[in-house]
């Protein structure tokens, strides 16, 4: 007998088998999705038999029909990923809007175009992604001041002013162009304020103090601004003019040096020089107290404790 055989390829109309077990995580202002594998009734060895995953996203509310997101006019297919390549996708969030919920679902599609959506939806409310703004970071320090205040103006689009966190880092150096970083010493940390008062530099030293203000909102976004202050507390004495006077005192003397502040004290030996007049940071005049015979030291003391002594400067 004669036997005849033939074969006919039938169009695939069966969607993949797919239970997504969809997972969502948020990190570094991005949304990361991952899902399970899908299987199909067609041989995986046939050309073009790969399964693809379609990732759909909707902002503001969930899908009208999660089992077929293609029917939702407000939903968008964000990506099409081959199963042979990956089962993960990252939404880079370039168009995210803070405070808005974003909904995601994944469908599996075979080579023929049969689609299977399991209706599993994950969502995430986008936190505040914008850092605060720092309008100003200033100081009221003058040349003669040994104490000053740091002030700033900052705001955030979401976090209210009382809930903004302020940190100030400080670094001392002899180089004006240096800047403080978050690796330096924290000298201030507080919420809901705009000043740091009573700030002082080291005594007996001229030094640049570099500050870094970091403002952090409730969602961890940060902004920073730098400021440098020149702290001048070094005192030096060069000469004392009219070095000889009566033992009964009241001799006018001129003290020449540097770093002489307006509220200084002058000691002639162990006694206070009287009627002090400061003409500049380099010149002071005062009248000597009654003293004892012999040469004595002249000492200048600023209100912050900085001082300098010129040995045997007055006879």
Q: Among residues of the chain, what percentage have pLDDT more than 70?
A: 92
Instruction: Let me know whether 104 and 24 are in one domain.
Output: yes
Flag whether 28 is in a domain.
Answer: yes
Flag whether 7 is in a domain.
Answer: no
List the end-to-end C-alpha distance of the chain, in Å, as a whole number: 145
Mean pLDDT of the chain: 92
41-50, 149-158, 252-261: segment of lowest average pLDDT:
41-50
What pLDDT score does 247 carry? 65
Flag whether 284 is in a domain.
Answer: yes
The total number of structural domains that make up the chain: 3
DSSP at 163: G
Q: Would you say residue 292 has pLDDT above 70?
A: no
Flag whether 1 is in a domain.
Answer: no
Instruction: Let me know whether 162 and 196 are in one domain.
Output: yes
Flag whether 9 is in a domain.
Answer: no
> Per-residue pLDDT tens for 247-285?
677 889 999 999 999 999 999 999 999 999 999 999 999
Q: Which of 125, 156, 178 is the last residue of a domain?
A: 125
Instruction: Let me know whether 139 and 156 are in one domain.
Output: yes
Instruction: Let me know whether 251 and 170 are in one domain.
Output: no
Instruction: Let me know whether 98 and 148 are in one domain.
Output: no
Number of CB atoms found within 10 A of residue 192's CB: 11
Instruction: Let me know whether 25 and 110 are in one domain.
Output: yes
Instruction: Let me know whether 56 and 68 are in one domain.
Output: yes
pLDDT band at 291 (very low <50, low <70, confident <90, very high): confident
Whether 103 contacts 55, CB under 8 Å: no
Instruction: Let me know whether 226 and 241 are in one domain.
Output: no
Kindly give the residue spans of alpha helices, DSSP state H, lying in the chain: none
Flag whether 251 is in a domain.
Answer: yes
- CB proximity list for 197: less than 8 A, separation 6 or greater: 149
Instruction: Let me know whether 204 and 138 are in one domain.
Output: yes
Length of the chain in terms of residues written: 315
Q: Which of 182, 205, 232 is the last residue of a domain?
A: 232
Whether 109 contacts 16, CB under 8 Å: yes
Query: Which of 151, 152, 127 is CA-nearest to residue 217?
Result: 127
CATH of the domain at 149: 2.60.40.10
What pLDDT score does 42 carry? 74
pTM equals: 0.68
CA distance 18 to 38: 5
What pLDDT score does 129 carry? 84
- CB proximity list for 6: less than 8 A, separation 6 or greater: none
- CB proximity list for 242: less than 8 A, separation 6 or greater: 251, 252, 253, 254
Whether 249 contacts 291, CB under 8 Å: yes
Instruction: Let me know whether 86 and 174 are in one domain.
Output: no
Instruction: Let me know whether 168 and 259 are in one domain.
Output: no
Q: Which of 66, 98, 125 is the last residue of a domain?
A: 125
Flag whether 5 is in a domain.
Answer: no
Tell me the β-bridge partners of 167. 189, 214
CA distance 315 to 295: 4
Kindly give the residue spans of alpha helices, DSSP state H, lying in 148-272: none
Q: Vertex 255, ends 254 and 258: CA angle to 5°?
A: 140
Tell me which residue range forms the domain holding 30. 17-125
Instruction: Let me know whether 103 and 184 are in one domain.
Output: no
Flag whether 30 is in a domain.
Answer: yes
């Amino acid at each position: 007998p004669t036997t005849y055989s033939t074969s006919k390829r039938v169009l695939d109309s069966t969607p993949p088998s797919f239970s997504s077990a969809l997972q969502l995580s948020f990190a570094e202002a991005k949304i990361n999705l991952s899902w399970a594998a899908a299987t199909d009734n067609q041989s995986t060895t046939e050309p073009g038999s790969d399964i693809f995953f379609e990732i759909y996203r909707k902002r503001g509310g969930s899908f009208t029909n999660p089992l077929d997101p293609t029917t939702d006019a407000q939903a968008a297919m964000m990506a099409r990923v081959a199963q042979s390549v990956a089962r993960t996708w990252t939404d880079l969030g370039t168009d995210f809007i803070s405070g808005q919920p974003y909904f995601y679902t994944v469908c599996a599609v075979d080579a023929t175009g049969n689609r299977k959506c399991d209706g599993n939806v994950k969502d995430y409310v986008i936190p505040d992604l914008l850092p605060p703004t720092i309008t100003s970071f200033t100081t009221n320090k003058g040349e003669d001041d040994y104490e000053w205040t740091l002030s700033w103006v900052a705001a955030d689009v979401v976090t209210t002013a009382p809930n903004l966190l302020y940190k100030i880092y400080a670094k001392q150096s002899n180089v004006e162009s240096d800047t403080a970083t978050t690796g330096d010493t924290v000298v201030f940390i507080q919420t809901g304020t705009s000043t740091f008062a009573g700030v002082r530099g080291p005594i007996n030293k001229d030094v640049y103090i570099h500050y870094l203000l970091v403002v952090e909102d409730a969602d961890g976004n940060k902004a920073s601004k730098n400021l440098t202050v020149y702290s001048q507390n070094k005192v030096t004495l060069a000469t004392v003019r009219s070095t000889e006077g009566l033992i009964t005192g009241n001799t006018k003397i001129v003290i020449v040096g540097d770093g002489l502040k307006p509220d200084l004290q002058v000691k002639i030996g162990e006694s206070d020089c009287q009627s002090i007049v400061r003409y500049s940071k380099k010149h002071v005049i005062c009248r000597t107290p009654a003293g004892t015979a012999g040469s004595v030291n002249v000492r200048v003391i600023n209100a912050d404790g900085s001082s300098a002594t010129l040995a045997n400067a007055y006879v």
